[in-house]
Structure 1
Amino acid sequence: MTRWVRCFWDEEAVWFYFELDTDGYVLRQVELQKPGSKALVVASLAEWQEAQRDGRLAEYESVYGLTAELPISGWEGHDPLRLSANEFEIVWSTARRQLQDRQRRHPS
Protein backbone atom coordinates (compact mmCIF):
# COMPACT_ATOMS: atom_id res chain seq x y z
CA MET A 1 0.00 0.00 0.00
CA THR A 2 1.42 3.35 -1.04
CA ARG A 3 1.54 6.11 1.54
CA TRP A 4 2.67 9.73 1.58
CA VAL A 5 4.44 11.54 4.41
CA ARG A 6 6.47 14.63 5.18
CA CYS A 7 8.99 15.55 7.84
CA PHE A 8 11.20 18.52 8.68
CA TRP A 9 14.94 18.33 9.24
CA ASP A 10 15.87 21.27 11.51
CA GLU A 11 19.62 21.05 10.98
CA GLU A 12 19.30 21.81 7.27
CA ALA A 13 15.92 23.62 7.35
CA VAL A 14 14.58 21.18 4.75
CA TRP A 15 11.11 19.69 4.32
CA PHE A 16 11.14 16.12 3.00
CA TYR A 17 8.07 14.76 1.20
CA PHE A 18 7.99 11.05 0.44
CA GLU A 19 5.85 8.63 -1.52
CA LEU A 20 6.57 5.24 0.08
CA ASP A 21 5.91 1.64 -0.87
CA THR A 22 4.57 -0.96 1.57
CA ASP A 23 8.03 -1.59 3.04
CA GLY A 24 8.81 2.11 3.54
CA TYR A 25 11.14 2.48 0.55
CA VAL A 26 10.99 5.80 -1.30
CA LEU A 27 9.24 5.79 -4.67
CA ARG A 28 9.29 9.57 -5.11
CA GLN A 29 10.95 12.27 -3.02
CA VAL A 30 10.77 16.05 -2.79
CA GLU A 31 13.11 18.23 -0.73
CA LEU A 32 12.23 21.88 -0.18
CA GLN A 33 14.68 24.34 1.41
CA LYS A 34 13.11 26.80 3.85
CA PRO A 35 12.66 29.74 3.80
CA GLY A 36 11.11 30.24 0.40
CA SER A 37 10.54 26.56 -0.37
CA LYS A 38 13.28 26.27 -2.98
CA ALA A 39 13.08 22.82 -4.61
CA LEU A 40 16.31 20.90 -4.08
CA VAL A 41 15.30 17.37 -5.07
CA VAL A 42 12.28 16.08 -7.01
CA ALA A 43 13.28 12.53 -7.82
CA SER A 44 11.48 9.35 -8.79
CA LEU A 45 12.98 5.91 -8.24
CA ALA A 46 11.42 4.62 -11.48
CA GLU A 47 12.82 7.56 -13.48
CA TRP A 48 16.24 7.13 -11.84
CA GLN A 49 16.29 3.43 -12.74
CA GLU A 50 15.27 4.25 -16.34
CA ALA A 51 18.00 6.90 -16.59
CA GLN A 52 20.54 4.40 -15.25
CA ARG A 53 19.45 1.79 -17.79
CA ASP A 54 19.67 4.35 -20.63
CA GLY A 55 23.06 5.76 -19.60
CA ARG A 56 21.57 9.16 -18.62
CA LEU A 57 22.08 8.89 -14.85
CA ALA A 58 24.42 11.86 -14.42
CA GLU A 59 22.04 14.06 -16.42
CA TYR A 60 19.00 12.94 -14.40
CA GLU A 61 20.71 13.43 -11.02
CA SER A 62 22.03 16.87 -12.00
CA VAL A 63 18.46 18.07 -12.58
CA TYR A 64 16.29 16.06 -10.18
CA GLY A 65 18.63 14.56 -7.57
CA LEU A 66 18.02 11.06 -6.24
CA THR A 67 15.79 9.31 -3.74
CA ALA A 68 16.85 8.04 -0.32
CA GLU A 69 18.15 4.48 -0.35
CA LEU A 70 17.07 3.49 3.16
CA PRO A 71 13.45 2.86 4.05
CA ILE A 72 11.89 5.80 5.89
CA SER A 73 11.62 3.65 9.05
CA GLY A 74 15.43 3.68 9.15
CA TRP A 75 15.57 7.43 9.74
CA GLU A 76 15.96 7.89 13.47
CA GLY A 77 14.66 11.04 15.09
CA HIS A 78 12.11 11.89 12.41
CA ASP A 79 8.40 11.51 13.02
CA PRO A 80 6.75 11.82 9.60
CA LEU A 81 3.30 13.34 9.23
CA ARG A 82 0.86 11.61 6.89
CA LEU A 83 -0.30 13.34 3.72
CA SER A 84 -3.04 12.54 1.24
CA ALA A 85 -2.08 11.51 -2.28
CA ASN A 86 -3.47 14.83 -3.51
CA GLU A 87 -1.37 16.86 -1.05
CA PHE A 88 1.76 15.04 -2.21
CA GLU A 89 0.88 15.52 -5.91
CA ILE A 90 0.51 19.28 -5.44
CA VAL A 91 3.94 19.53 -3.80
CA TRP A 92 5.46 17.16 -6.41
CA SER A 93 4.10 19.01 -9.46
CA THR A 94 4.97 22.47 -8.09
CA ALA A 95 8.54 21.46 -7.18
CA ARG A 96 9.02 19.57 -10.46
CA ARG A 97 8.01 22.67 -12.46
CA GLN A 98 10.39 24.79 -10.36
CA LEU A 99 13.37 22.51 -11.09
CA GLN A 100 12.52 22.23 -14.79
CA ASP A 101 12.16 26.02 -15.10
CA ARG A 102 15.50 26.52 -13.31
CA GLN A 103 17.13 23.98 -15.66
CA ARG A 104 15.77 25.78 -18.75
CA ARG A 105 17.12 29.11 -17.48
CA HIS A 106 20.51 27.72 -16.37
CA PRO A 107 21.37 24.50 -18.23
CA SER A 108 24.30 22.56 -16.75
Structure 2
Amino acid sequence: MAEEDLWCYDELDAAQWSLRHVEQREQDDVFMAAASLSETLHARDTGGFEAVRDYMGFYGVSPEAPLDFPPEFAVEEITADEFELIWSAARAARESGWGVRPL
Protein backbone atom coordinates (compact mmCIF):
# COMPACT_ATOMS: atom_id res chain seq x y z
CA MET A 1 0.00 0.00 0.00
CA ALA A 2 1.45 3.35 -1.00
CA GLU A 3 1.88 6.00 1.65
CA GLU A 4 -0.52 8.90 1.39
CA ASP A 5 0.87 12.37 0.88
CA LEU A 6 -0.74 14.46 3.58
CA TRP A 7 -0.57 18.16 4.20
CA CYS A 8 -0.90 18.81 7.92
CA TYR A 9 -1.75 22.19 9.37
CA ASP A 10 -1.67 22.85 13.11
CA GLU A 11 -2.43 25.79 15.31
CA LEU A 12 0.12 25.40 18.10
CA ASP A 13 0.34 26.83 21.58
CA ALA A 14 3.63 27.89 23.22
CA ALA A 15 4.33 24.30 24.35
CA GLN A 16 3.82 22.92 20.81
CA TRP A 17 0.43 21.31 21.58
CA SER A 18 -1.85 21.28 18.56
CA LEU A 19 -4.94 23.30 19.44
CA ARG A 20 -6.52 22.68 16.04
CA HIS A 21 -5.36 20.13 13.48
CA VAL A 22 -6.12 19.71 9.78
CA GLU A 23 -5.01 16.86 7.52
CA GLN A 24 -5.54 17.19 3.77
CA ARG A 25 -4.77 14.31 1.40
CA GLU A 26 -2.88 15.70 -1.57
CA GLN A 27 -4.02 13.24 -4.26
CA ASP A 28 -7.70 14.22 -4.06
CA ASP A 29 -7.85 17.16 -1.63
CA VAL A 30 -9.92 15.18 0.89
CA PHE A 31 -9.76 16.61 4.39
CA MET A 32 -9.00 13.61 6.59
CA ALA A 33 -9.19 15.65 9.81
CA ALA A 34 -10.36 19.00 11.13
CA ALA A 35 -10.13 18.33 14.85
CA SER A 36 -9.82 20.56 17.88
CA LEU A 37 -8.10 19.61 21.13
CA SER A 38 -10.62 21.57 23.21
CA GLU A 39 -13.54 19.84 21.48
CA THR A 40 -11.94 16.42 21.98
CA LEU A 41 -11.43 17.14 25.69
CA HIS A 42 -14.98 18.45 26.01
CA ALA A 43 -16.31 15.25 24.42
CA ARG A 44 -14.22 13.20 26.87
CA ASP A 45 -15.33 15.20 29.89
CA THR A 46 -19.02 15.20 29.02
CA GLY A 47 -19.57 11.90 27.26
CA GLY A 48 -16.60 9.68 27.91
CA PHE A 49 -15.07 7.21 25.47
CA GLU A 50 -18.13 6.94 23.24
CA ALA A 51 -18.34 10.71 22.76
CA VAL A 52 -14.63 10.89 21.88
CA ARG A 53 -15.01 7.99 19.43
CA ASP A 54 -17.97 9.74 17.79
CA TYR A 55 -16.09 13.05 17.63
CA MET A 56 -13.02 11.43 16.08
CA GLY A 57 -15.18 9.54 13.60
CA PHE A 58 -16.70 12.81 12.46
CA TYR A 59 -13.80 15.28 12.69
CA GLY A 60 -10.78 12.99 12.68
CA VAL A 61 -7.98 12.66 15.19
CA SER A 62 -5.83 15.46 16.56
CA PRO A 63 -2.29 14.94 17.89
CA GLU A 64 -2.22 13.59 21.44
CA ALA A 65 1.18 14.99 22.42
CA PRO A 66 3.22 18.13 21.78
CA LEU A 67 4.59 18.19 18.24
CA ASP A 68 8.32 17.74 17.74
CA PHE A 69 9.22 17.87 14.08
CA PRO A 70 12.17 15.77 12.88
CA PRO A 71 14.68 17.56 10.66
CA GLU A 72 13.54 15.70 7.52
CA PHE A 73 10.07 17.28 7.75
CA ALA A 74 9.56 20.48 5.79
CA VAL A 75 7.86 22.80 8.27
CA GLU A 76 6.60 26.17 7.14
CA GLU A 77 4.79 28.84 9.10
CA ILE A 78 1.58 30.26 7.72
CA THR A 79 -0.34 33.28 8.93
CA ALA A 80 -3.30 33.03 11.28
CA ASP A 81 -5.54 34.22 8.43
CA GLU A 82 -4.23 31.46 6.15
CA PHE A 83 -4.86 28.87 8.85
CA GLU A 84 -8.42 30.18 9.38
CA LEU A 85 -9.17 29.75 5.66
CA ILE A 86 -7.84 26.19 5.70
CA TRP A 87 -9.66 25.41 8.97
CA SER A 88 -12.96 26.77 7.63
CA ALA A 89 -12.69 24.75 4.41
CA ALA A 90 -11.76 21.59 6.31
CA ARG A 91 -14.60 21.94 8.82
CA ALA A 92 -17.12 22.63 6.06
CA ALA A 93 -15.92 19.55 4.15
CA ARG A 94 -16.09 17.31 7.24
CA GLU A 95 -19.50 18.66 8.25
CA SER A 96 -20.91 18.12 4.76
CA GLY A 97 -19.68 14.52 4.84
CA TRP A 98 -17.31 14.96 1.90
CA GLY A 99 -14.29 12.77 2.46
CA VAL A 100 -15.37 11.55 5.88
CA ARG A 101 -13.89 8.14 6.53
CA PRO A 102 -16.07 5.51 8.24
CA LEU A 103 -15.33 4.24 11.74
Q: What CA RMSD, in Å, does the superposition of the two structures yield over aligned residues?
A: 2.2
Q: Residue 46 of structure 1 aligns to which amino acid in structure 2? A: S
SS of residue paired to 1:46: helix
* CA distance in 2: counterparts of 1:18 and 1:12, whole angstroms: 18
Identity %: 33
**TM-score between both structures, scaled by the size of structure 2:** 0.83
SS of residue paired to 2:77: strand
Q: Residue 68 of structure 1 aligns to which amino acid in structure 2? A: P
Task: Note closer, same or farther for the CA distance 1:78–1:13 as it changes in structure 2 (3 Å cut).
Answer: same
The size of the alignment, in residue pairs, is: 96
**TM-score between both structures, scaled by the size of structure 1:** 0.80
Of 15, 18, 41 in structure 1, the residue corresponding to residue 33 of structure 2 is 41
Of 52, 57, 71 in structure 1, the residue corresponding to residue 52 of structure 2 is 57
* CA distance in 2: counterparts of 1:34 and 1:83, whole angstroms: 18
Structure 2: which 5+ runs fail to align? none
Q: Which residue of 1 aligns with 2:73?
A: 78
Conserved? CA contact 2:35–2:59, under 8 Å:
yes
Structure 1: which 5+ runs fail to align? 1-10
* Higher strand fraction (1 or 2): 1
* CA distance in 2: counterparts of 1:94 and 1:84, whole angstroms: 16
Residues 13-52 of structure 1: pairs in structure 2 closer than 5 A: 13-52=5-44
Of 91, 94, 99 in structure 1, the residue corresponding to residue 89 of structure 2 is 94
Deviation at 1:36, TM superposition (A): 2.5
* CA distance in 2: counterparts of 1:34 and 1:107, whole angstroms: 19
